[in-house]
């Protein structure tokens, strides 16, 4: 009897991110949210979407707190923003679409940072806040191994001097990686 191929099922949020970017780059429009949404996509939640090309970051945009009414809509908006609005990169071009892999990070357990010594940058993300300024560093960011390195990068991203008094918050993410295997374990600076 011949062997049967294993069925690989892609996470729906990764599929949604890919569809959103493809639709926007190919047609210049946002992917509509198809109702009714699955129960787990109805809630609102902070999300980061990272685009990876040839093992390198190609775009990453998100928010620790939700900006949209549902998780599905949040993923759509952040995926498109990662493709065309990350100021570190030029917008994704049509000929790049098939070369991209996707990572969706669902933000969880956002709370005030109370104990710096228990903060692990491999597991915990960091957000610094002062007024309208904020800087975020995702957990497991490449090159960040200490709290102080993570704090300095967050201050830099917030446009703040390292001695400025701020509110520090920590969070974790549930990382959903595309099954292609063409990804990196850490998120680059």
Residue range 48-86, pLDDT digits in tens: 999 999 989 999 999 999 999 999 999 999 999 999 999
pLDDT in tens, 117-129: 999 999 999 999 9
Q: Which CATH number characterizes residue 109's domain?
A: 3.30.700.20
Q: What pLDDT score was predicted for residue 146?
A: 96
Instruction: Report if residue 6 sits inside a domain.
Output: no
Domain count, the chain: 1
Report how far Cα 32 is from the mean position of its chain's Cα atoms: 20
Instruction: Report if residue 137 sits inside a domain.
Output: yes
Task: Supply the range of the domain harboring residue 83.
Answer: 12-177
Instruction: Report if residue 101 sits inside a domain.
Output: yes
Q: What pLDDT score was predicted for residue 178?
A: 85
Instruction: Report if residue 185 sits inside a domain.
Output: no
> What average pLDDT does the structure give for the chain?
91
Q: What pLDDT score was predicted for residue 2?
A: 54
pTM of the full predicted structure?
0.87
Whole-number percent of the chain with pLDDT over 90: 82
Q: Which residues of 48-58 are buried (b: 16+ CB within 10 A; e: fewer)?
A: bbbbbeeeebb
Q: Listing from the earlier edge strand, what are the strands of the sheet with 133-137?
A: 56-63, 47-53, 100-112, 167-177, 125-130, 133-137
The sign of the CA dihedral 164, 142, 147, 62 is: positive
Mean pLDDT of 115-140: 95
Res. 134: pLDDT tops 90: yes
Q: What pLDDT score was predicted for residue 189?
A: 45
Q: What pLDDT score was predicted for residue 179?
A: 76
User: Whose structure tokens read 């374990």?
Assistant: 185
């Amino acid at each position: 009897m011949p062997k049967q191929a294993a069925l690989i099922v892609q996470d729906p949020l990764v599929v949604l991110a890919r569809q959103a970017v493809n639709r926007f780059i190919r047609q210049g429009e946002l992917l509509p949210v198809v109702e009714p949404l699955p129960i787990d996509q109805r809630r609102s939640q902070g999300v980061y979407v990272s685009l990876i090309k040839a093992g390198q970051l190609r775009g990453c945009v998100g928010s620790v707190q939700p900006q949209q009414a549902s998780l599905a809509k949040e993923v759509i908006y952040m995926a498109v923003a990662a493709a065309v609005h990350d100021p570190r990169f030029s917008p994704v071009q049509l000929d790049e679409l098939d070369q991209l892999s996707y990572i969706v990070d669902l933000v969880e357990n956002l709370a005030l940072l109370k104990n710096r010594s228990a903060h692990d940058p491999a597991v915990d993300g960091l957000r610094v806040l002062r007024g309208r300024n904020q800087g975020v560093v995702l957990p497991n960011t490449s090159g960040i191994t200490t709290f102080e390195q993570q704090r300095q990068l967050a201050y830099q991203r917030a446009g703040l001097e390292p001695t400025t008094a701020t509110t520090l918050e920590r969070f974790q993410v549930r990382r959903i990686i595309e099954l292609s295997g063409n990804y990196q374990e850490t998120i680059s600076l």
